[in-house]
Amino acid sequence: MNNIIRVHYDFTDGSELSYIEGKNCKGAFTTNCLEFFSTSNPNTFIVKRDGGRMSVQDLLRNDGFITKKEIREAHDLRKMLVAGAFEW
């Protein structure tokens, strides 16, 4: 899946697709399903109500701005997000 996926983290605005709709979507879409936030979807980014934003590509860059941990493709980014491992 190479489309841009926007994930609303702590808010909704009515534009979000469900998990099944997102899996079947052929273009870019917005959702609130954290399952899409993974290294298998590199064009995914998370947006918070306060405007904070973090992308899978940011994490894989390992520049130390979001987390001090080295992120590899094997990591479960969704679990790390829910556990509070990122500073954003």
Q: For the segment 26-78, what is each residue's pLDDT rounded down to a tens digit? A: 999 999 999 999 999 999 999 999 999 999 999 999 988 888 888 999 999 99
Which whole-number Å values give the CA distances from 87 to 24, 40, 71, in the listed order? 32, 22, 14
Query: 46 - beta bridge partners?
Result: 7, 54
Q: For the segment 9-21, what is each residue's pLDDT rounded down to a tens digit? A: 999 999 999 999 9
pTM for this prediction: 0.88
